[in-house]
Structure 1
Amino acid sequence: MTEEKSAFDTFELNLSPAIVGFLKETSSWTYFLSILGFIGIGLMLLFGVFFSVAMGFMPGGNPYEAMGMDMNMSYFGIVYVVMALFYFFPVLYLFNFSRKMKSALSAKNNDDLTAAFSNLKSHYKFLGIFTIAIMSLYILIFVGALFTGLM
Structure 2
Amino acid sequence: MMEEKSAFDTFELNLPPAILGFLKETSTWTYFLSILGFIGIGLMFLFGIFFSVVMGMMPGGNPYEDLGMDMSYFGIVYVVFGLVYFFPVLYLFNFSRKMKGALNSNNNDELTAAFSNLKSHYKFLGIFTMAIISLYVLIFVFAIIAGMM
For residue 48 of structure 1, what is the aligned residue in structure 2?
48
Residue 91 of structure 1: which of 86, 89, 92 is its match?
Answer: 89
* Structure 1 residue 143 corresponds to structure 2 residue 130: no
Q: How does 1:33-72 map to 2 (within 5 A)?
A: 33-66=33-66, 69-72=67-70
Q: How does 1:109-148 map to 2 (within 5 A)?
A: 109-148=107-146
Task: For 2:91 and 2:110, locate their aligned partners in 1 and report how far apart those are by CA, in whole Å.
Answer: 14
Q: Deviations over 1:87-140 (max 9, x none)?
A: 000000000000000000000000000000000000000000000000000000
Supply the AA of the counterpart residue of 2:104: S
List alignment gaps of at least 5 residues for structure 2.
1-11
TM superposition outliers: structure 1 runs of 4+ over 6 Å: none
Q: Deviations over 1:37-91 (max 9, x none)?
A: 000000110011011112211224443444xx32212211110000000000000
For residue 8 of structure 1, what is the aligned residue in structure 2?
none
List alignment gaps of at least 5 residues for structure 1.
1-11
User: Which deviates the most, 128-137 or 43-52?
Assistant: 43-52
Structure 1 length-normalised TM? 0.87
Residue 75 of structure 1: which of 69, 73, 76 is its match?
Answer: 73
Q: How many residue pairs end up in the alignment?
A: 138
Query: Is the contact between residue 64 and residue 70 of structure 2 (CA under 8 Å) also seen in structure 1?
Result: no
Task: For 2:22 and 2:36, locate their aligned partners in 1 and report how far apart those are by CA, in whole Å.
Answer: 21
1:13 CA drift (Å): 7.0
Q: Identity of counterpart residues, as a percentage?
A: 80
Over the aligned positions, Cα root-mean-square deviation in angstroms equals 1.4
Supply the AA of the counterpart residue of 1:145: A
